[in-house]
């Protein structure tokens, strides 16, 4: 069988594989399960996450990615090697999305892991370009726009003209910071500890960063910090807004400052075409309205907000005759 290229999106929360000719073939939680007694890894990805949820104490979850960087080299290698083995893929050419926020040492760490598990070649596409391609933006419109991807660990802001990234900036504020803000509010107000799943569901169901979005209240379960017993509580959109707004405003203000720094004619094109927002954070209630107010730009939410990176890598891989110049060796 002919060798096929593998697309790879390594996120702080999820790791996704794309196989040339087949599309997305695997998606796993970016975590490993460690036996609390032997301290050895016993599971990874969704299996580890499910074990931690269904049988608390059976495993300790460790996340190998933190704010867009590799924090556990061995853990990430275990996940990636396992995913490729389960997919029956060996000696692949791998194309991943890379943010300008990663330095040479961080990029080299990822490349070392991939070559270590058998990759014959490691290449990359700039993240803003991948977001635009995966969002199915109109490439016939050659005016510049801003790609704003609010991911799990970082927000990647890039100026894209056509499908080429012209400028990029990364801030270490993402869904993790939004969830942490809600977690802090809930702990202080109710004296309970919600788990990561509850925080994620709260942000998705009722999370708000602008008064235009109010979904009422959402019931969740948490652990009482005094008794240790599970309890059921409810949190409202208004309460999440009070918690998350400073994080969302920071992202918006950094974006606005970037727009002001752009030279003509790029700045004029961006003001006309606006922001294309993606990532899990783009789906937070009122995020688009907040960005419109603070940046003064038109805002479009990507129709493929949570999977535009891997889909964009797929577009580049499947159409090398058109987008081959975007793919570079890491």
Over the stretch 254-306, which tens digit does the pLDDT of each residue have?
A: 999 999 999 999 999 999 999 999 999 999 999 999 999 999 999 999 999 99
- Same fold yes or no, 5-128+308-329 and 137-302: yes
Q: In this model, does residue 176 exceed pLDDT 90? A: yes
- Of the pLDDT bands very low, low, confident and very high (cuts 50, 70, 90), residue 30 is very high
- Segments of the chain assigned E as strands: 5-10, 14-19, 23-29, 32-34, 41-44, 60-62, 65-66, 69-70, 93-98, 121-126, 144-150, 155-161, 164-171, 192-193, 217-224, 230-236, 275-278, 299-301, 328-329
Over the stretch 300-323, which tens digit does the pLDDT of each residue have?
A: 999 999 999 999 999 999 999 999
**So where are the chain's domains?**
5-128+308-329, 137-302
Q: In this model, does residue 63 exceed pLDDT 60? A: yes
**Architecture in CATH for domain 137-302:** 2-Layer Sandwich (3.30)
Average pLDDT, the chain: 94
Q: Which of 103, 159, 102 is nearest to 131 (CA)?
A: 159
Over the stretch 77-128, which tens digit does the pLDDT of each residue have?
A: 999 999 999 999 999 999 999 987 678 888 899 999 999 999 999 999 999 9
Q: In this model, does residue 2 exceed pLDDT 60? A: no
pTM of the model: 0.93
Cα gap 71→69, rounded to integer Å: 6
**Architecture in CATH for domain 5-128+308-329:** 2-Layer Sandwich (3.30)
Q: In this model, does residue 53 exceed pLDDT 90? A: no
Helix (H, G, I), strand (E, B) or coil at 286: coil
Phi-psi category of 279—alpha, beta or left, where left has phi over 0 and alpha has psi -120 to 50? left
Task: For the beta carbon of residue 59, count every other beta carbon within 10 angstroms.
Answer: 22
Structure tokens at 4: 């096929």
């Amino acid at each position: 069988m002919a060798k096929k290229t593998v697309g790879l999106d390594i996120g702080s929360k999820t790791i996704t594989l794309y196989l040339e000719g087949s599309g997305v073939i695997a998606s796993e939680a970016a975590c490993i399960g460690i036996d609390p007694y032997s301290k050895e890894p016993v599971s990874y990805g969704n299996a580890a996450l499910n074990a931690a949820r269904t049988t608390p104490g059976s495993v300790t979850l460790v996340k190998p990615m933190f704010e867009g960087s590799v924090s556990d080299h061995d853990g990430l290698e275990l996940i990636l090697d396992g995913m490729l083995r389960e997919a029956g893929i060996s000696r692949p050419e791998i194309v991943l999305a890379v943010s300008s926020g990663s330095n040479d040492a961080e990029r080299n760490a990822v490349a070392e892991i991939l070559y270590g598990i058998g990759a014959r070649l490691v290449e990359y596409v700039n993240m803003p370009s991948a977001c635009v391609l995966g969002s199915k933006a109109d490439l016939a419109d050659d005016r510049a726009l801003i790609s704003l991807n609010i991911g799990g660990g970082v927000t990647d802001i890039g100026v894209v003209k056509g499908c080429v990234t012209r400028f990029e900036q990364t801030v270490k504020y993402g869904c993790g910071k939004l969830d942490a803000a809600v977690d802090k509010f809930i702990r202080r107000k109710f004296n309970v500890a919600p788990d990561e799943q509850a925080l994620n569901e709260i942000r998705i169901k009722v999370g708000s960063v602008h008064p235009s979005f109010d979904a009422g209240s959402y019931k969740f379960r948490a652990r009482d910090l005094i008794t240790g017993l599970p309890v059921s509580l409810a949190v409202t959109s208004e309460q999440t807004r009070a918690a998350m707004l400073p994080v969302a405003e920071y992202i918006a203000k950094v974006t606005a400052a970037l727009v002001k720094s752009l030279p003509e004619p790029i700045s004029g094109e961006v003001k006309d075409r606006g922001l294309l927002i993606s990532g899990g954070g783009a789906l937070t209630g009122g995020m688009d309205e907040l960005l419109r107010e603070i940046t003064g730009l038109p805002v479009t939410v990507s129709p493929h907000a949570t999977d535009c990176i891997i889909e964009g890598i797929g577009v580049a891989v499947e159409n090398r005759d058109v987008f081959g110049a975007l793919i570079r060796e890491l």
